[in-house]
């Protein structure tokens, strides 16, 4: 069975600090996909990134970066120079090629204080 663990329930930082959100996953599949979604206070889920199991190259998009390490089954998300607008709940999710739906972690609530 698939499982996604986000051990950090809530993180509070001051603006301009860097913050890393942890995600650890479990799956028996050799091919799978990992995702991060953002859920701002408005409630809508926003897709941030998809990573497949064959590609361990880290990715950077502006202030966001992702570190995928297959050896530790982790897919961590770092926000550099955080801003108040980054305040949201962030979900890590997992799917395989057969199961079309996603399995979500419990989410990490990030609060960025001005």
Partner 1 sequence: SAVISQKPSRDICQRGTSLTIQCQVDSQVTMMFWYRQQPGQSLTLIATANQGSEATYESGFVIDKFPISRPNLTFSTLTVSNMSPEDSSIYLCSVGARDFSGANVLTFGAGSRLTVL
For position 91 contacting partner 1 by CB under 8 A, the verdict is yes
Residue 15 C-beta-side C-alpha neighbours within 13 Å: 5
Q: What is the dihedral of CA 5, 9, 10, 16, to 10 degrees?
A: -10
For position 64 contacting partner 1 by CB under 8 A, the verdict is no
Three-class secondary structure of residue 64 per DSSP: strand
For position 61 contacting partner 1 by CB under 8 A, the verdict is no
Binding mask 1-40 for partner 1 (x = CB under 8 A): --------------------------------x-x-x---
Say if residues 64 and 78 touch (Cβ distance below 8 Å): yes
Chain residues that interact with partner 1, rule: CB under 8 A = 33, 35, 37, 42-45, 47, 50, 52, 91, 95, 97, 100-107
């Amino acid at each position: 069975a698939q499982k996604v663990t986000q051990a950090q329930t809530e993180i509070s930082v001051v603006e301009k600090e860097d913050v890393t959100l942890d995600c650890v996953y479990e799956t028996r599949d050799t091919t799978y996909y990992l995702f991060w979604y953002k859920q701002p206070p408005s409630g809508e889920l926003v897709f941030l990134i998809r990573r497949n199991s064959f590609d361990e190259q880290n990715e950077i998009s502006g202030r966001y970066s992702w570190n995928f390490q297959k050896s530790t089954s982790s897919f961590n998300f770092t926000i550099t120079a955080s801003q108040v607008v980054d305040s949201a709940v962030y979900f890590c999710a997992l799917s395989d090629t057969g199961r079309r739906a996603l399995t979500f972690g419990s989410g990490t609530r990030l609060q960025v204080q001005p």
